[in-house]
């Protein structure tokens, strides 16, 4: 078990050190999220629609699209120079590779989301500070589910010719329950409701997180096979 | 969990029996069988599309065959065995190195993945062995193709594997780099280590091997000891075999 965790942390270490050197993933995701928020702010008349009603949707669309860029890039890096083959030849359980990539993707996305929140707050003129803790919880749960299924599908699409197109086509239908849950919870959090009043959405999102992680553990061996 | 049956020199290190692999309607391997013993060096020649890379991928547990069996150091290669991967090293034209990481970081990464003791020491030692200690803090993307291939050898032999699979290792190398790689491979060919190499380079391949095979249309049309072959006539033999 110690060896397993060591392998997971080694993959995370490698992803972080690569990102620190290149800054490719964070910069592309953050700029994309920022652009989505800016496009929406110019296309929505906030004097007619309440920002707290439309804001959660905009926020999650930005997270979703920017996150897809990150997920696509995640396994593309492994394909360069045949590195994925090097990982598959290492004496480790392939779930260790999945969890390593999942944690890296999850942390990169969370960082991008944390940087996007203040800009969202300024552009939509919504004070997030009173709701920060429940909002971070919602983002944590939603992003975990997104990364759980996204990491699995990005490993699958990495072996496909039309990988850039295939990832969103495969991913978006599967994350609909998580995104609906996350948008609803974010809306209710911004309306000042406590998390206890939205336990149905919290449970639904958590259930899908667990289901997607469990499925990924079961199928990752077959997905990574050449 | 598969049983480890490899114990002495009487058991073949690599045993392949009636191995077949289909990709849809395309039959890539159509019944390959051979045994390779401890310390032997087999070179497999064959035209593009003969199934040489597929054979190595199956033996290293990267791909499952359609039928047949293969054991490497006693472990069933078809199960994608973790223990099997501890005993093999694979070098191909793809270096499996991260271009943005330094040579040392790449080796350290693989040393940790393989769970080696003192990974820093092993990584430093390996890079010294391939003569690149002065470039160890440089990113891989700044290395020439030959230097990258030397780091790839260090990567594949970090854990001192008893079996090495070399899939066209000379691809893209100039004469100097080919000569250096040959020297390094000769150094790796010890009594304890079994090597299977695929290549198009007839002189390189024959020079280093004990056994030679010609693979064509998914089958071995020749599998002989190199001593039984007239090397000057091998090119003609190869041309006839693949016709």
Report the Cα–Cα distance between both ends of chain A, in Å, rounded. Answer: 27
User: Residue A139's closest CA among A82, A59, A210?
Assistant: A59
Q: Are B119 and B111 in contact (CB under 8 A)?
A: yes
Question: What is the rounded distance in angstroms from the CA atom of residue A10 to the CA atom of residue B108?
Answer: 9
Question: What is the rounded distance in angstroms from the CA atom of residue A76 to the CA atom of residue A98?
Answer: 14
Chain B residues in contact with A77 by the CB 8 A cut-off are 98
The DSSP symbol for B52 reads H
Question: What is the rounded distance in angstroms from the CA atom of residue B150 to the CA atom of residue B91?
Answer: 10
The band of A125, judged by pLDDT with boundaries at 50, 70 and 90, is: confident
Assess whether pLDDT exceeds 60 at residue B124.
Answer: yes
Assess whether pLDDT exceeds 50 at residue B51.
Answer: yes
Assess whether pLDDT exceeds 90 at residue B77.
Answer: no
Assess whether pLDDT exceeds 70 at residue B9.
Answer: no
Q: What is the pLDDT of residue B135?
A: 92
Residue B17's DSSP bridge partners are: B69
User: Residue B204's closest CA among B195, B191, B193?
Assistant: B195
The band of B80, judged by pLDDT with boundaries at 50, 70 and 90, is: low
Tell me whether residue A9 is in a domain: no
Residue with tokens 């990495």: A158
Q: What is the pLDDT of residue A53?
A: 85
Tell me whether residue A3 is in a domain: no
Tell me whether residue A99 is in a domain: no
A51-79 helix and A176-190 helix, angle to the nearest 10 degrees: 140
**Cβ of residue A23 closer than 8 Å to a chain B Cβ:** no
Tell me whether residue B148 is in a domain: yes
Question: What is the rounded distance in angstroms from the CA atom of residue B212 to the CA atom of residue B195?
Answer: 12
Helix (H, G, I), strand (E, B) or coil at B94: coil
Question: What is the rounded distance in angstroms from the CA atom of residue B227 to the CA atom of residue A132?
Answer: 77
Tell me whether residue A125 is in a domain: yes
Task: Please enumerate in sequence order all residues whose Cβ is within 8 A of that of B206, keeping only pairs 6 or more positions apart, or say none.
Answer: B43, B212, B226, B229, B231, B234
Write phi, then psi, for B218 (nearest 5 degrees): 80, 10
| Closest Cα in chain A to B23 | A226
Q: How would you classify the pairing of strands B88-92 and B163-167? A: parallel
> Any idea of the CA torsion for A128, A131, A133, A139, to the nearest 10 degrees?
-70
Q: How would you classify the pairing of strands B211-216 and B194-198? A: unpaired
Q: Which residue has the higher pLDDT, B188 or B117?
A: B117
Chain B residues in contact with A225 by the CB 8 A cut-off are 62-64, 80
Domains of chain B: total = 1
Tell me whether residue B129 is in a domain: yes
| Closest Cα in chain A to B92 | A82
The number of CA neighbours under 13 Å toward the Cβ of B107 is 36
Assess whether pLDDT exceeds 70 at residue A226.
Answer: no
Give CA angle at A37 (A31, A43), nearest 5°.
Answer: 135
Question: Which region, left, alpha or beta, applies to residue B18 given φ > 0 means left and ψ of -120 to 50 means alpha?
Answer: left
Task: State the CATH number of the domain containing residue B136.
Answer: 3.40.50.300
**Cβ of residue B229 closer than 8 Å to a chain A Cβ:** no
Domains of chain A: total = 1
The band of B8, judged by pLDDT with boundaries at 50, 70 and 90, is: low
Tell me whether residue A142 is in a domain: yes
Best mutation target, A77, A79, A90, A94, to test chain B (most B CBs within 10 A): A90
Range with the poorest average pLDDT among A43-57, B17-31, B140-154: A43-57
pTM to 2 decimal places = 0.89
Tell me whether residue A162 is in a domain: yes
Assess whether pLDDT exceeds 60 at residue B6.
Answer: no
Tell me whether residue B4 is in a domain: no
A202: domain range?
Answer: 24-78+105-224
Q: What is the pLDDT of residue A147?
A: 96
Assess whether pLDDT exceeds 90 at residue B229.
Answer: no
Question: How much is the ipTM here?
Answer: 0.88
The band of B3, judged by pLDDT with boundaries at 50, 70 and 90, is: very low
B43: domain range?
Answer: 14-242
Tell me whether residue A2 is in a domain: no
Tell me whether residue B92 is in a domain: yes
Residue with tokens 């953050």: A30
The pair of three-digit structure tokens given for residue A209, joined into one six-digit string: 């997180």
Q: Which of B86, B96, B110 sits opposite A82 (nearest CB)?
A: B96
Chain B residues in contact with A6 by the CB 8 A cut-off are 112, 115
Assess whether pLDDT exceeds 90 at residue A178.
Answer: yes
Q: What is the pLDDT of residue B1?
A: 37
pLDDT in tens, B186-227: 888 877 889 999 988 888 888 888 899 999 888 888 888 888
The pair of three-digit structure tokens given for residue B71, joined into one six-digit string: 């054991």
Tell me whether residue A11 is in a domain: no
Q: What percent of chain A has pLDDT over 70?
A: 100
Q: Per the CB < 8 Å rule, is B98 touching A14?
A: yes
Tell me whether residue B6 is in a domain: no
pLDDT in tens, A61-114: 999 999 999 998 888 888 888 899 999 999 999 999 999 999 999 999 999 999
pLDDT in tens, A61-70: 999 999 999 9
**Min distance A90 CA to chain B CA atoms (Å):** 6
Write phi, then psi, for B215 (nearest 5 degrees): -110, 130
Q: How would you classify the pairing of strands B75-76 and B67-72? A: antiparallel
């Amino acid at each position: 078990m110690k060896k397993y965790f060591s392998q997971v942390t080694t993959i995370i270490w490698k992803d972080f050190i690569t990102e620190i050197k290149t800054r490719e993933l964070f910069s592309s995701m953050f700029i994309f999220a920022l652009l989505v928020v800016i496009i929406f702010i110019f296309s929505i008349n906030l004097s007619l629609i309440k920002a707290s009603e439309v804001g959660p949707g905009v926020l999650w669309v930005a997270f979703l699209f920017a996150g897809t860029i990150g997920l696509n890039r995640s396994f593309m890096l492994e394909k360069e120079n045949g590195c994925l083959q090097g990982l598959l030849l290492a004496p480790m359980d392939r779930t260790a590779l999945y969890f390593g990539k999942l944690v890296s993707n999850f942390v990169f996305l969370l960082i991008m989301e944390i940087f996007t929140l203040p800009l969202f707050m300024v552009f939509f003129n919504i004070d997030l500070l009173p709701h920060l803790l429940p909002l971070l919880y919602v983002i944590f749960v939603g992003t975990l589910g997104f990364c759980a299924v996204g990491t699995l599908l990005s490993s699958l699409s990495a072996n496909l010719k039309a990988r850039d197109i295939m990832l969103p086509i495969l991913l978006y239908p599967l994350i609909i329950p998580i995104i609906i849950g996350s948008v609803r919870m974010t809306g209710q959090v911004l309306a000042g409701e406590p998390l206890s009043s939205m336990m149905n959405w919290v449970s639904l999102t958590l259930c899908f997180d667990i289901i997607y992680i469990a499925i990924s553990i079961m199928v990752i061996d077959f997905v990574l096979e050449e | 969990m598969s049983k480890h049956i490899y114990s002495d020199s009487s058991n073949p290190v690599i045993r392949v029996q009636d191995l077949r692999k289909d990709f849809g309607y395309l039959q890539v391997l159509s019944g390959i069988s051979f045994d390779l013993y401890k310390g032997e060096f087999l070179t497999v020649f064959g035209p593009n599309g003969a199934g040489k890379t597929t054979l190595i991928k199956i033996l290293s547990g990267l791909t499952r065959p359609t039928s047949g069996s293969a054991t490497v150091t006693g472990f069933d290669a078809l199960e994608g065995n973790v223990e099997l991967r501890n005993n093999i090293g694979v070098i191909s034209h793809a270096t499996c190195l991260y271009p943005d990481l330094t040579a040392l970081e790449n080796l350290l990464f693989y040393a940790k993945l393989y769970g080696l003791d003192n990974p820093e020491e092993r990584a430093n030692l390996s890079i010294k062995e391939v003569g690149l200690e002065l470039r160890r803090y440089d990113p891989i993307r700044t290395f020439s193709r030959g230097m990258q291939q030397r780091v790839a050898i260090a990567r594949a032999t970090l854990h001192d594997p008893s079996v090495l699979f070399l899939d066209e290792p000379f691809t893209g190398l100039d004469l100097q780099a080919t000569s250096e790689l040959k020297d390094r491979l000769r150094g790796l060919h010890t009594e304890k280590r079994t090597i299977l190499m695929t290549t198009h380079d007839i002189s390189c391949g024959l020079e280093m091997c004990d056994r030679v095979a010609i693979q064509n249309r998914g089958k071995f049309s020749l599998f002989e000891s190199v001593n039984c072959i007239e090397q000057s006539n091998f090119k003609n033999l190869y041309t006839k075999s693949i016709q």
